Structure 1
Amino acid sequence: MTGEVAVIGAGMHPWGKWGRSFVEYGTKAARAALTDAGLDWPDIASVVGANTVRCGYPGQVAGATFARALGWQGARVTSVYAACASGARAIDTARAQILSGMVDTVLVVGADAAPKGFFAPSGGDRPDDPDWLRFRVLGATNPAYFALWARRRMALCGDTPEDFAAVKVKNAAAGAANRHARYRSPVTAEEVAASPVVADPLRLLDICATSDGAAALVLSSVDFARRHGVADPVRIRAVSSVAPVYPRTALDLPDIATDSAPDALVPDGFRPSIARAAYEEAGIGPEDLSLAEVYDLSTALELEWYEDLGLCAAGEGAKLLREGATALGGRIPVNPSGGLASFGEAVPAQAIAQVCELAQQLRGRAGDRQVAGARVGITANQGLFGHGSSVIAVR
């Protein structure tokens, strides 16, 4: 193990479509995290911002942007971009600073003001951008991409549209109890089935929205946390951000979607390798988990994560769901926050928000969403161009 850092503060700005600057969202989340930690802004030695490329130059230097908004006070400033894994990379950067002895306290912030509709490549024509190629060459927007995965699961695993709908029903029930979620109403399977088809077999309620929102964490050394009066802090034990490994056949393909190439092309699978690296670093296995927060861009992709995290055997994700194991009160609740189904995507914030949920669960502060006896949690997501992440937190 490389060492642990403490999570002493967690804060969020509610997600939605607010029509204001990402700086406002991130600053409010940061102040909430500082209050939760019992620290003042001058107590922070370093700020790591997760970048948002859709919000102009301030979004691409997010660390400095948030430090300026909070008031320059001499803290170190770092900005990180790794697509949908940006928040986890920001956490890992903060962890490295703490474990190196460089600083004792770091504020990690991610925030976004997302455009309406499905994400499109930013910055005009970009033929070196896999998103741009996928949109222009294949005509495959994100929902079409998700639908291909859903069809693959139906063909290989026997999943059904009813299974996909059940994921949405489960996550909406959890999100209804989360005050930071954008969508806070329970959903029935009938409502999912009645929503418009976006990309067959996925319907509107099978796919996550794009959102404005923010999340922030205050991380510290374990010694600092204890000196600060937190005798048994939540601790980050592992952060995985491994890149995929492809055989020559995959490398010869157009670089359109190789970050999500089928497992047949990827030795041991990309997403399983993300989780495996986290488990190895943390010295635990799937059997030790109390809960998981995963990247449910679509309902079908959540089922894929069950298998990738080792919660069940390959092809048995839907079976695990049908047994009720991944619901609140089940053996291994998945997305007790409500997931992206209830929040939508705010790209730089979402991996941080996942860790905020782990922190609240492991502290026993999740209210009606509380996982009884939660002691170990994992997060997982993947992003464009081979960016993936997994964080393990323990108490």
Structure 2
Amino acid sequence: MSAPDPVAVLGVGMHPWGKWGRNFVEYGKVAAREALADAGVDWTDVDFVAGADTMRNGYPGYVSGATFAQALGWTGSRVASCYAACASGATALEAARTRILAGLSDVALVVGADTTPKGFLAPNAGDRPTDPDWLRFRLFGATNPTYFALYARRRMDLWGATDEDFARVKVKNARNGLANPNARYRKEVTVEEVLGSPMVASPLRLLEICATSDGAAAVVLASEAAARRIGSDGVTVRAISTVTPTYPNVVPDLPDLAADSAVAVPAPDTTFKASIAQACYEEAGIGPDELSLAEVYDLSTAMELDWYEDIGLCGAGEAEKLLRDGATEIGGRIPVNASGGLACFGEAVPAQALAQVCEVVWQLRGQAGDRQVDGARTGITANQGLFGHGSSVLLAR
């Protein structure tokens, strides 16, 4: 398959993340208007709206494309609503990009917003016995913190990761988030403070697991012709991956621990998470050695280390060394989560994948302020949604 034509990113925008207690549509409108202003286009210039769905917010959340189109003012634009859990934003972005590449749209707006409950995210109502993620909630009792902890314990058993390694990820991301005006948590922490926070699911502590947040993000995409007419800074989407697992590497892909809990069964040669970014590299013809930065899905500090290997920044078992050497710091060889990541934002599920894209765009433009990665030219995002939804976006200028 030949690489598709690049699609221009004309604008990006966000609503700051926190616990605001308002309707998710309000956040989405703010992010959308910021993205339109950033793009230099009027709302009436948009001919397609893709909304990332949020199931917790009732019927308007199920039909978010139409919800945001109505909130911004009916103009007759085409709409789509996309649900893929934490990958919803990338799925909506892919819907917009595909329509542009098909010649059916010139300017598209993609919006994701959420209002979340307190505590960890529980599974949606109803029985879904064919959904592996529902099964791990109901049959294993593996709520998200437990799920994250199993991965963390596996890293310790397989590769010798330590509590201090996990804490260093939080320290790095918290430092990055200090310079991000959209982040919810903007406070530097030490390794000792992280290790002193309450234990949630051993070995992960409170400061090593992301919170739930309200927030929104939006992106304006355009065809090459529209970008030339309107004006573009040269940032383009080079690839989007929304892959599903390949048997036998299926979700939930729980760590396969031996009967002796001190001994872990070696990881398979490839995993579902590794296939997510790989699909992007293959589509764009760009490899991980050409990246300037990465934004990855750090639901826990240990999970960020897994992503280093899954997106090809290092080999299996080498993530801790990459971290300890400072390679993933701003100023290092390959900065990861320069935005502060979910450690500083928390989860606003349908907005997460779009927020990652916003950060990479700001970095590629040189607009990231004190968290700027020098000379950034290429960046990738990566996350994963329930029921086998992959999400990765590769951008370049």
Provide TM-score, normalisation by structure 2: 0.95
Aligned to 1:380, the other structure's residue is in SS state: strand
Aligned to 1:372, the other structure's residue is in SS state: coil
Distance in structure 2 (CA, Å) of the matches to 1:259 and 1:109: 30
Distance in structure 1 (CA, Å) of the matches to 2:309 and 2:33: 37
Call closer, same or farther: CA 1:179–1:313 in 2, change over 3 Å: same
1:237 aligns with 2:231: no
Contact kept, 8 Å, 1:175 with 1:337, in 2: the verdict is yes
Percent of paired sites with the same residue: 69
**What does the per-residue CA deviation read over 1:79-126, in whole Å, with 9 as the maximum and x for residues that have no partner?**
001111110011111000000000100000000001110000122454
1:28 aligns with 2:22: no
Aligned to 2:4, the other structure's residue is in SS state: coil
- The structure 2 residue matched to 1:227, chosen from 229, 251, 254, is 229
* Residue matched to 1:82: 84
Distance in structure 2 (CA, Å) of the matches to 1:204 and 1:138: 22
Deviation (angstroms), 1:229: 2.2
* Within-5 A mapping of 1:322-333: 322-333=324-335
- The structure 2 residue matched to 1:119, chosen from 109, 118, 121, is 121
Contact kept, 8 Å, 1:259 with 1:387, in 2: the verdict is no
Call closer, same or farther: CA 1:122–1:241 in 2, change over 3 Å: same
* Residue matched to 1:246: 247
- The structure 1 residue matched to 2:210, chosen from 208, 211, 230, is 208
Contact kept, 8 Å, 1:110 with 1:214, in 2: the verdict is yes
* Residue matched to 2:67: 65
Contact kept, 8 Å, 1:291 with 1:376, in 2: the verdict is yes
* Residue matched to 1:8: 10
Distance in structure 1 (CA, Å) of the matches to 2:134 and 2:289: 40
- The structure 1 residue matched to 2:96, chosen from 94, 97, 100, is 94
The gaps in structure 1 that reach 5 residues or longer are 252-256
The gaps in structure 2 that reach 5 residues or longer are 257-264
Distance in structure 2 (CA, Å) of the matches to 1:290 and 1:264: 30
* Within-5 A mapping of 1:344-363: 344-363=346-365
The residue type equivalent to 1:312 in the other structure is: C
The residue type equivalent to 1:20 in the other structure is: R
Distance in structure 1 (CA, Å) of the matches to 2:269 and 2:365: 37
Distance in structure 1 (CA, Å) of the matches to 2:254 and 2:222: 34
* Residue matched to 2:136: 134
The residue type equivalent to 1:279 in the other structure is: Y
Contact kept, 8 Å, 2:16 with 2:183, in 1: the verdict is yes
Distance in structure 2 (CA, Å) of the matches to 1:258 and 1:124: 19
Count of residues in correspondence between the two structures: 387
- The structure 1 residue matched to 2:277, chosen from 275, 278, 291, is 275
* Residue matched to 2:259: none
RMSD between aligned alpha carbons? 1.5
Aligned to 1:84, the other structure's residue is in SS state: helix
- The structure 2 residue matched to 1:164, chosen from 160, 163, 166, is 166
Contact kept, 8 Å, 1:246 with 1:265, in 2: the verdict is no
Aligned to 1:258, the other structure's residue is in SS state: coil
* Within-5 A mapping of 1:123-202: 123-202=125-204
The residue type equivalent to 2:145 in the other structure is: P
Contact kept, 8 Å, 2:136 with 2:252, in 1: the verdict is no
Aligned to 1:85, the other structure's residue is in SS state: helix
Deviation (angstroms), 1:271: 1.2
